[in-house]
Chain A
Amino acid sequence: GQQVQQSPASLVLQEGENAELQCNFSSTATQLQWFYQSPGGSLVSLLSNPSGTKHTGRLTSTTVTKERRSSLHISSSQTTDSGTYLCAIAGAGGNYKPTFGKGTSLVVHP
């Protein structure tokens, strides 16, 4: 089945610093989403980016499909960015099964 690895497992920043999160996956993905989850909270979709580069606010995601990797860049981090960032992958056709990585836990100190 689809394997999704995220790195780093955890990250601690000072407010204002930038963050770079990585997602690697084992087989072809036709859908890739980045989610944010606060402690005890639900999953909030940040970006849908199966290929190329997409921006929204302080977030930039770059996915290189043939290399099976995606990154999420958070610029000028804020304390409210603290939480877990999850990458979810889905493959094509009959192998469609949205699968999550274990996430990156981000803590931003004031």
Chain B
Amino acid sequence: NTKITQSPRYLILGRANKSLECEQHLGHNAMYWYKQSAEKPPELMFLYNLKQLIRNETVPSRFIPECPDSSKLLLHISAVDPEDSAVYFCASSQAQSNERLFFGHGTKLSVL
């Protein structure tokens, strides 16, 4: 799937700050960050619709989303914790409600 690109693909960190990036080329209005820990299903972290944060799930405050325009999504992580080790997926849909989700290939974060 080259229509939703995420960078980087792999990230190995100590207790550092880092940002994950996502860009979608589908013209969609809603974008999402999901976290998938090992052997678990994806869990919704944040949802943006038309650049407005609609859902802010109960995630640690060290995760800060940013949506500079409707096609881009960032996830800033400060002072990562070992429990943050997971794959972070970006997804998008045409609208916030009742539309199909399309996923990027994910960023695998490993915290040392």
Query: What is A's interface to B at a CB cutoff of 8 Å?
Result: 30-31, 33, 35, 41-45, 48, 50, 86, 88, 90, 92-93, 96-103
Contact = CB atoms under 8 A, between A and B. Distances in A.
8 contacts: A41-B105, A42-B1, A48-B100, A86-B41, A93-B97, A97-B47, A101-B41, A102-B40
Given A43-B103, A93-B97, A98-B32, 19 more contacts: A30-B97, A31-B100, A42-B103, A42-B105, A43-B42, A43-B89, A44-B1, A45-B100, A48-B100, A50-B98, A86-B41, A86-B42, A90-B97, A90-B98, A92-B98, A96-B98, A98-B91, A98-B101, A100-B43
Contacts of B104: 42
B contact face: mostly helix, strand, loop, or mixed: loop
Interface of B: 1, 32, 40-44, 47, 55, 89, 91, 96-106
Contacts of A86: 41-42
B106 A42 contact: yes
Contact of A100 (B41, B55, B100): B41
